[in-house]
C-alpha cells in the first residue's frame, strides 16, 4: 500500500489547526474532507487536505518514521 504525505487543516472556533500526516494514497486528494482516527479509536471529522506531497510505500515509511530522532547526532549542531 502507498501513503502520501499531506498538509491537513481543520477550522475551529479558535482558528485553524494544521497537521502534516501520511495518509493512504486514495484519500490524498486536494480539498477532500477527511475523518482522522484518534489514538483512543474515536474519529475526528472535518480535516481538509490543503496540500499533497510525495508518496512512498508503507514499508519505507515505517522503516524511517523515527529518523527525526537521530537528526541531532547526524547534524553539525
50 is a domain residue: yes
Question: Can you give the pTM of this predicted structure?
Answer: 0.78
CA dihedral 64→22→58→60, nearest 10 degrees, is -20
32 is a domain residue: yes
Q: Domain count for the chain, please give it.
A: 1
Chain segment 6-64, per-residue pLDDT in tens: 999 999 998 999 999 999 999 999 999 999 988 899 999 999 999 999 999 999 888 87
77 is a domain residue: no
Rg, Å, the chain Cα set: 15
Domain of 24, in residue numbers: 2-71
- Name all contacts of 58-67 with Cβ < 8 Å and 24+ positions apart: 58/1, 58/2, 58/3, 61/3, 61/22
SS3 category, 45: strand
CA angle 7, 40, 49 (to 5 degrees): 15
Amino acid at each position: 500500500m502507498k501513503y502520501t504525505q499531506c498538509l491537513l487543516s481543520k477550522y475551529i472556533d479558535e482558528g485553524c489547526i494544521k497537521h502534516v500526516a501520511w495518509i493512504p494514497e486514495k484519500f490524498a486528494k486536494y480539498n477532500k474532507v477527511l475523518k482522522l482516527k484518534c489514538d483512543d479509536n474515536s474519529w475526528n471529522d472535518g480535516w481538509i487536505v490543503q496540500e499533497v506531497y510525495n508518496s512512498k510505500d508503507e514499508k519505507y515509511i515505517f522503516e524511517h518514521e523515527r529518523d527525526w530522532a537521530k537528526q541531532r547526532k547526524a547534524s553539525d549542531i
